[in-house]
Structure 1
Amino acid sequence: MFQRIFRNFIRFIPIMAGLCTLLAMQPVRPRFRVLALAENGGHHIAYSRTAKVWLDKLAADSGFAVDYIDNTDKIDSVFLAQYQLFIQLDYPPYAWKPAAVKAFEEYISEGKGGWIGFHHATLLGEFDGYGLWPWFYDFMGKIRFKDYIAGFASGDVHVEDAAHPVLKGVPAVFNVKTEEWYTYDRSPRPDVHVLASVDESSYKPASGKKMGDHPVIWTNTAYKARNVYIFMGHSPDLFENKAYLTLFRNAIFWAAAKP
């Protein structure tokens, strides 16, 4: 009897091996999906290209998927429904297609997914013949772009809310080596929750282009979507900055609600 059981077991091994092989061949379903929107040219292209390399590695290591687009032509409510996180990697809030505008506003207002915006996402005003996007103006804390440090400067960023998940493990003060610090017509502080600000007295070289109160990381809690704006996003050397990478990584998992 034992021999018969053993023979049957031996016969069953190839079947189990075949099933295991089939299972191994099945694509692994990602934990969540990310859409990253970035310009395909201009002087931020080096940042965006470096960001893609870093994002792809993080996605592979952490089990999520990233799709990239360089314009808003595909964006509508059906398209956005595929994604749990929208990263506006370096793309301004103008020249969006009407369907994309409507879908994005719903996505954020109704909390259909999370959002991380970088740098160019606060290029608010009248640019390239396009008017101000009123909804996005409110979303970003009612600010308009005023000026920037075209020659670049380093600066110290001071964390204001160390308890926020996006800033877990980020030093209380960290230096950003190369940035074209924007100024706005007002501080967004009255309309957003500020997470960090830049100390304008730390600029090297010194610059007269200052705001006084100068938030650079914030979230707008008036919207259902988990959202965070991170101003720093010009130079690829940011991906050599441990504090910045910790911030970026934290923002992804917090905004996507995937700890």
Structure 2
Amino acid sequence: MIVPHLLLAALAFQTNPEAGAYEWPRSAEYMSERAVLVFSETKGWRHEAGIPAAMLFFNRLGEEEGFSVHSTEDSRVFTAENLARFQVVVLNSMTGDVLTDAEEMALQDWLEAGGGLIALHGAGDGSQESWPWYRENVIGAVFSGHPIGPQFQDAEVQTLSDHPVTEGLPESFVHNDEWYSFAAPPGEDFTPLIGVVEGSYKQVAGGVWPDEDLVMGPEAKDHPVAWTRCIGKGRTVFSALGHQPQAFEAEEHKRLLTNALAWVTADEESGGCPAR
């Protein structure tokens, strides 16, 4: 479980890009032994509104539940020594090839050894082209586009699994977001959590996807928008929701993410994953 701590160390920290190592801000010494890293660097599409909203959500959750949050856009934080400080890493709409090969390997090793990873929205848009391990093992589905006309819509979402991450969610609810489509749902190694009913919104593509078919199937199970997977001793949760700030004020999405944080840090066997 997350180690209680009274101080929230929520920091957006920039370092000298010419420096040879990641420079911790002085406040980092006050982080709890187990803390959450929120990483928001982008080299692809920048979710200017959703990124700070997600950061604020985890900051508030840390204040409520007593864990520390360290926020950065400096990929040099991804070393074995630095990652050992954290129980959870949140890839906050990280887009593009932002990590070096060594940084990618450090995160992979940390996760497989028992870390907890939460990937949000843009972190599943397929732009991490040079990191096939991440695309195949964490996301597990190929992004195909999202509606343009209109881009943000109310849609019916259904709960797909009796899983710790979906605990407390209604069987069905309405959510407003930018609805990602994928070439196919993730494979059988993944557990779908929630899915969107395609008939409840308009699937009109456009922009950079004028000819893309966004249809995945008529039922919510055909079009999952959040799922989880165990990788080694680690646990991952991906949510395709979260383009707009309102997504992080919606009670159902807040419940999903709060449960996700608890589940990826659970010590006991839960949801088919090995104990730490």
TM-score by length of 2: 0.73
> Does the CA-based 8 Å contact 1:77-1:103 persist in structure 2?
yes
User: Aligned residues, how many?
Assistant: 225
Deviation at residue 28 of structure 1 after TM alignment = 8.2
Deviation at residue 197 of structure 1 after TM alignment = 1.1
> Does the CA-based 8 Å contact 1:44-1:90 persist in structure 2?
yes
Gaps of 5+ in 1: 1-26
For 2:129 and 2:73, locate their aligned partners in 1 and report how far apart those are by CA, in whole Å: 21
> Does the CA-based 8 Å contact 1:31-1:64 persist in structure 2?
no
Distance 1:141 1:59, change over 3 A: closer
For 1:53 and 1:183, locate their aligned partners in 2 and report how far apart those are by CA, in whole Å: 27
DSSP-derived class of the 1:36 partner: strand
Instruction: Report the equivalent of 1:194.
Output: 192
1:52 aligns to 2:55 (yes or no): yes
Query: Which segment drifts farther, 74-83 or 28-37?
Result: 28-37
> Does the CA-based 8 Å contact 2:157-2:173 persist in structure 1?
yes
Write the letter of the residue equivalent to 1:167: T
DSSP-derived class of the 1:156 partner: strand
Instruction: Report the equivalent of 2:82.
Output: 79
Deviation at residue 206 of structure 1 after TM alignment = 5.0
DSSP-derived class of the 1:135 partner: helix
Instruction: Report the equivalent of 1:13.
Output: none
When you count helix as a share of all residues, which structure comes out higher?
A: 1
Deviation at residue 245 of structure 1 after TM alignment = 1.0
Instruction: Report the equivalent of 1:98.
Output: 101
Q: Deviations over 1:200-228 (max 9, x none)?
A: 1111x454732222111111134321211
1:232 aligns to 2:226 (yes or no): no
Q: Deviations over 1:91-123 (max 9, x none)?
A: 136231222101011112222x11111111212
| Percent of aligned pairs sharing the same letter | 28
Deviation at residue 29 of structure 1 after TM alignment = 7.0
Instruction: Report the equivalent of 1:35.
Output: 37
TM-score by length of 1: 0.78
> Does the CA-based 8 Å contact 1:36-1:67 persist in structure 2?
yes
Instruction: Report the equivalent of 1:24.
Output: none
For 2:58 and 2:139, locate their aligned partners in 1 and report how far apart those are by CA, in whole Å: 27
DSSP-derived class of the 1:226 partner: strand
Gaps of 5+ in 2: 1-28, 205-212, 269-276
For 2:191 and 2:77, locate their aligned partners in 1 and report how far apart those are by CA, in whole Å: 31
For 2:90 and 2:131, locate their aligned partners in 1 and report how far apart those are by CA, in whole Å: 18
Deviation at residue 159 of structure 1 after TM alignment = 0.6
For 2:31 and 2:40, locate their aligned partners in 1 and report how far apart those are by CA, in whole Å: 25
Query: In terms of Rg, which structure is larger?
Result: 1
Q: Which of 224, 245, 263 lines up with 1:254 in the alignment?
A: 263
For 2:265 and 2:233, locate their aligned partners in 1 and report how far apart those are by CA, in whole Å: 13
For 1:239 and 1:138, locate their aligned partners in 2 and report how far apart those are by CA, in whole Å: 27
For 2:118 and 2:140, locate their aligned partners in 1 and report how far apart those are by CA, in whole Å: 18
Distance 1:70 1:28, change over 3 A: closer
Query: Which segment drifts farther, 214-223 or 99-108?
Result: 214-223
Q: Which of 213, 227, 232 lines up with 1:223 in the alignment?
A: 232
Deviation at residue 52 of structure 1 after TM alignment = 2.1
